Amino acid sequence: MAESVADRGYEVDEGIDAIEFYFERGVTDGLPVVPPTEARVARMLAVTVRPADEVIALVPPNYGAATLEKIAVNAVMAGCKPDYLPVVVAGVQAMCAEQVSLHGVQGTTHTATPLFIVNGPVRQQLDINCATGVFGSGWRANATIGRALRLIMTNLGGARPGEIDKSAMGHPGKYTFLIGEYEEASPWEPLHVEQGYRPEQSTVSVYCCDAPQCVSNHGSRTAEGILTSIGASMAVGWHHKAYLSDNCLVVIGPEHAKSIGADGLSKQDVKRFLYEHVQRPLGELLPGPDGAEGVARQRVPDGLDAQDDATLIPKITSPDGITVVVAGGTAGRFSIHLSGWGAGSRLATAPIDLD
């Protein structure tokens, strides 16, 4: 039986392996995709009353038009259920926001790639993992929604590895990179509320970053002890002299969050602690004689003495540049630090329209 994608698609004869066909077309992520038949795409689009040709965003760097139909095609290919489509659409809106700088992220030699963070009731509705193994495998929603967004970055944005995507090392998040925030295990307001949304609103946030760096601290029962460990990981993110970065993301595990919250620290207190304690003397950060990177005196912010080698230089330029969310299993005292893409990418959040 022939496989087709509407009148604008391809007719694949019975003797052709549809999966191999899409490999040959170069529209996969290196893994097999679900053939986007006309019927499958129609079922995906049936969850919305919006027109199929509505352009949601232009995806950098090629600025391909992400129409609802093209988003649906990639969602089918990724293995999404139709109910996942509104999350994919919101993810497209978020990653194409100007402050994300997706154009630069798509072509950088750095490892950074967009991480998607889901908040609100949609997490339960779609069984999006927020807890044990949150960055790992085993959840269809996390895996396929994140994969659909990656396919859209490649197929509509044009960022094919080795061509426009020049990442020297890459990381596994370039297959799929999506988590939910474990709001119920957090002593603080969730990320989307911090961004100005109502608790009952579902959202997708995007943050461009490196692969997760695990922080294990099973001994400390105080905020200071736990945050000192997290700060030590932040201190060497990228490299040991990469200070005055714009931003970073800290994913605090529920056990760590419970201990920090029990000490009375707010989320802003956590950010302030990390900002103030992840600092090093300027003399240790100056560029080396061999041309090694570092913090040049002319980069020292106003208000700090650039001529004094003892001047303490913060890792992150402002406490507000530190994003904090809670996720992970409730058994195990682990947290995660993720270095951001340091060329001007900032977090963006988009609401999920379930109509």
Per domain, the residue ranges of the chain are 17-210+348-355, 211-339
Percentage above 90 pLDDT, the chain: 88
- The pLDDT of residue 289: 77
The per-residue pLDDT for 229 is 97
The pTM (predicted TM-score) of the whole model is 0.94
Report how far residue 107's alpha carbon sits from residue 114's, in angstroms, rounded to the nearest whole number.
Answer: 13
- Strand, helix or coil at 291? coil
b/e code 7-43 from CB counts within 10 Å (16+ = b)? eeeeebeeeeebeeebeeeebbbeeebbbbbeebbee
Longest dimension (CA), the chain: 75
Instruction: Give the CA angle between residues 216, 221, 227 to the nearest 5°.
Output: 55
b/e for 49-61, b at 16 or more Cβ within 10 A?
A: eeeeeeebbebbb
pLDDT value for 343:
66
As given in the structure block, the two tokens for residue 29 are: 């992520």
3-class DSSP assignment, residue 245: strand
Give the pLDDT confidence score for residue 10 in this predicted structure.
66
Confidence at residue 100, expressed as pLDDT on a 0 to 100 scale: 97
Under-70 pLDDT residues of the chain: 1-10, 12-15, 291, 343
Give the number of other CB atoms < 10 A from CB of residue 319. 16
Return the pLDDT at 240. 81
